[in-house]
A = this chain, B = another copy of it.
Amino acid sequence: MILHLHNGTSADQAEEIAEKTQSVYYEKDGRFILITPSKLQEPPTSFAEEIESSFVMSSDIQLASRSYRNEVREIDLKHTKIGGSTNNTIMITGPCSIESWEQIEQSADLLKSLGITTLRAGCYKPRTSPYSFQGLGLEGLKMLSKIREKYGFNIITEVRDASHVEDVIEHADIIQIGAKAMYDHGILRRCGKARKPVLLKRGFGSTLQEFVQAAEFILSGGNEDVMLCERGIRTFETKTRFTLDLCGVSYLKEHVNLPIILDTSHAMGYRYGVPDLTRACMAMGVDGLLIESHPNPAVAQSDAAQQLDFDQYWEMYSSLEPIAAAVGRNMV
C-alpha cells in the first residue's frame, strides 16, 4: 500500500509511521510517501490523521503501477522530455563500447547530422569472459564528459557493478543499469538517491514482476525518473542472441506507469534483423529506441555482429519516420 502523508507531517512522525507499518519512505516536495509491504490491504487506522490518501496494491509493483498513477510518467531528459502527453520517442544511439576519441567523435557526428541528442557508449563492459576487452573504464567516462562539453549531448552510459557507481553517476546524464546488474541492490539503492534519470534494463532471465520490482528499489529511494528497457530474454531459441519480448512490452504498457525503451540490438544479436525489429517497436508506440551503431562494426571490440554502420542506421532512421507518423509519435 502507498500512503501519502499530509503536507506538513514532520520527519519524526513519518519515521514513526514507517517503522510501525514496516514501510520504506521518501520525501517529495515536502510530502512523505510511504510504501508498506503489499500484503497490508487496509490503511492503519491509528494514523488516520496523518494519512492524506492511500493506494491499495495487489503486488509489490506499487509506485510503478497504473493503479497508483494511470499514465506514463513524464521524464525530463534535459534536451527533451518523454512520457506524459508528449508522444515523444527518443532515439538513442552510439557504439557498444567507447574505444577511442576518434571513434566517439565519429559517432557524435552521426547524431548531430540526424538531430539526435542522446549518445550511448559503454565504459565498463559486463563481459562474460575475463579474457576479452573489458572497456576503458574511468578514462572512457572522461572522454564522454568531453563529448558532452563539445556537442551538448545527453550521455547515457552503463554502470556494471557497485564498485564504480559513483563515477558513472558523476559523468553520465542518464545512468544505465545493465541487464546483468538488474538485481544489484548496491546500484539500485544508490540510484534511488541520485538526481539523474535512470534507464533500467531487464535481466534476460528476469520476469516482468522482478523487473518492475527492481525499479521499485530506485523509485522508493526517492528517484522518480526511471525508464524500463526491454532488451530480449533468454529462451531455448539460439538462432538469435535473445528473444525480444514484445508481449511483455504490451503487459508493461497496460500495467506500469514508467516510460518504455526498446533495445533491439542486443535482442537480435545480428545486424540484419535490427531495422525490422526497430520498426516493429516504433509501431507499438514505445517511448524510446536504443540502437547500437559504430563507424566500423567489423573492428568493434565488443558486439561486432550486431552494431549497425552509419549508412544502415541512417536508412533505418528514415524508414521509421512514416511509421512514427502513422502511430502519432515524434522522433526526438
Binding site for B on A (CB under 8 A): 22-24, 35-38, 60, 62, 124, 126, 128-132, 134, 160-164, 180-181, 183-187, 190, 203-210, 213-214, 216-217, 220, 232-251, 253-254, 267-268, 272-273, 276-277, 279-285, 319, 322-323, 325-327
In the complex, the answer to whether B232 meets A235 with C-beta atoms within 8 Å is no
Q: How far is the CB of A251 from chain B (nearest CB, A)?
A: 5
Task: Name the residue of chain B whose CB is nearest to the CB of A220.
Answer: B130
> For residue A162, which residue of chain B has the nearest CB?
B162
Residue of B nearest to A210 (CB): B128
Report whether B272 and A280 are in contact in the complex, using a CB–CB cutoff of 8 Å: no
Q: Can you give 26 contacting A-B residue pairs, CB < 8 Å?
A: A35-B130, A37-B131, A38-B131, A60-B128, A62-B131, A126-B185, A130-B217, A131-B216, A161-B184, A204-B205, A205-B234, A207-B238, A207-B239, A240-B248, A240-B250, A242-B247, A247-B273, A249-B276, A254-B272, A254-B273, A280-B280, A280-B284, A283-B283, A283-B323, A322-B325, A323-B323
Interface centre among A35, A240, A247 (most CB of B within 10 A): A247
Shortest Cβ distance from A242 into B: residue: B247
